[in-house]
């Protein structure tokens, strides 16, 4: 099944053996991971669409050659894991309505930007969203989203008072 080796990042159909060909480019890599650790597989672009598999399980489908994306890779017992990215550079108007054959731009296929696997700490922060609640009182609203299991945590108020938050988000902090 894997009968060739190409550098990553690169476009498979930019190499002489595959020049101008439309179809699937399948990339496979075996990686060693830390036991019981959530990871993120990140790439700056793969096209024109791709499917991401880890240990044979489909984890994500991404459409858009030049858009970065990340895939949460569930924790495992550790050891070796198989990462497979199946890229598809075939024109499909339903899937990618802005990409058509015979345009003045050739849309390449493959993993065309950097790709890396990033191990995360336990219960990492996915994002923080801060909005102004009331300007005159200096109150803001803070929402924190976690990857993985939500955990109770504490936040500090302006006078050093600590309040417990009951879940994965907290709100109404006065500064």
Identify any residues that bridge with 60 across adjacent strands, giving them in sequence order. Answer: 52
- pLDDT digits over 110-153, tens only? 999 999 999 988 778 778 888 888 888 877 888 777 776 655 55
This prediction has a pTM of 0.73
Q: Residues in the chain with pLDDT < 70?
A: 1, 97-103, 148-175
All domains in the chain, ordered by first residue = 12-119 (2.60.120.260), 125-174 (no CATH)
Using DSSP, state whether 16 is helix, strand or coil: helix
Residue 138 region, left (φ>0) first, then alpha (ψ -120 to 50), else beta? left
CA distance 140 to 26: 48
Taking the C-alpha atoms of residue 20 and residue 45, their distance in angstroms, rounded to an integer, is: 19
């Amino acid at each position: 099944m894997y009968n060739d080796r190409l550098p990553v990042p690169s476009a498979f159909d930019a190499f002489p053996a595959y020049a101008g060909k439309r179809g699937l480019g399948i990339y496979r890599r075996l990686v060693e991971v830390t036991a019981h650790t959530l990871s993120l597989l990140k790439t700056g672009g793969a096209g024109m669409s791709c499917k991401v598999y880890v240990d044979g399980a489909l984890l994500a489908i991404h459409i858009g050659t030049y858009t970065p994306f990340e895939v949460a890779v569930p924790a495992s017992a550790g050891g070796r894991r198989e990462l497979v990215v199946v890229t598809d550079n075939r024109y499909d108007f339903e899937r990618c309505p802005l990409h058509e054959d015979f345009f003045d731009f050739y849309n390449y296929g493959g993993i065309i930007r950097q790709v890396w696997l990033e191990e995360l700490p336990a219960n990492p922060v996915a994002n923080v969203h801060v909005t102004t609640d009331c300007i005159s009182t200096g109150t803001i609203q803070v929402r924190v989203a976690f990857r993985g299991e939500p955990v109770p945590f504490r936040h500090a108020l302006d006078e050093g008072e600590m309040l417990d938050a009951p879940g994965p988000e907290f709100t109404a902090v006065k500064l």
